Amino acid sequence: MSSTRPHRIVFANEKGGTGKSTTAVHVAVALAYRGARVAAIDLDPRQRTLHRYFENRAETAQRRGITLPTARCEVFHGSTIEELDALFAELSDDVDFIIVDTPGRDDVFARHAAVEADTLVTPLNDSFVDFDLIGQVDAETFKVRRLSFYAELIWETRKKRALERRQEIDWVVVRNRTGHVEARNMIRIEKALGELSKRAGFRVASGLSERVIYRELFPSGLTLLDKGHLGELGTSHLVARQELRGLVQGLNLPAGAKRTLELEPA
pLDDT tens, 33-76? Answer: 999 999 999 999 999 999 999 999 999 999 999 999 999 999 99
Averaged pLDDT score across all residues of the chain: 87
Local confidence band at 181 (pLDDT 50, 70, 90 cut-offs): low
Residue 33 is predicted with a pLDDT of 94
For 47, the 3-state DSSP assignment is coil
Give the domain extent around 119.
Answer: 7-250
Residue 77 is predicted with a pLDDT of 97
Local confidence band at 215 (pLDDT 50, 70, 90 cut-offs): confident
184 domain-assigned: yes
Count up the domains in the chain and report the number. Answer: 1
CATH of the domain at 181: 3.40.50.300
225 domain-assigned: yes
144 domain-assigned: yes
212 domain-assigned: yes
Residue by residue, DSSP assigns 68-126 as ----EEEE---SSHHHHHHHHHHHTTT-SEEEEE--SS--HHHHHHHHT-SEEEEEEES
Is 50 exceeded by the pLDDT of residue 265? no
Of 19-28, 191-200, 224-233, give the lowest mean pLDDT range: 224-233
157: which DSSP letter? H
16: which DSSP letter? S
263 domain-assigned: no
Is 80 exceeded by the pLDDT of residue 94? yes
Local confidence band at 259 (pLDDT 50, 70, 90 cut-offs): very low
- β-pairing, 135-137 vs 72-75, is unpaired
Beta strands in the chain (DSSP E): 7-11, 38-42, 72-75, 97-101, 119-125, 135-137, 144-147, 170-176, 203-206
| CA dist., res. 137 & res. 142, Å (int) | 5
235 domain-assigned: yes
264 domain-assigned: no
* Relative orientation angle of helices 49-64 and 20-33, to the nearest 10 degrees: 40
Is 60 exceeded by the pLDDT of residue 260? no
Q: Specify the pTM.
A: 0.89
Residue 55 is predicted with a pLDDT of 98
Residue 214 is predicted with a pLDDT of 84
Residue 179 is predicted with a pLDDT of 61
266 domain-assigned: no
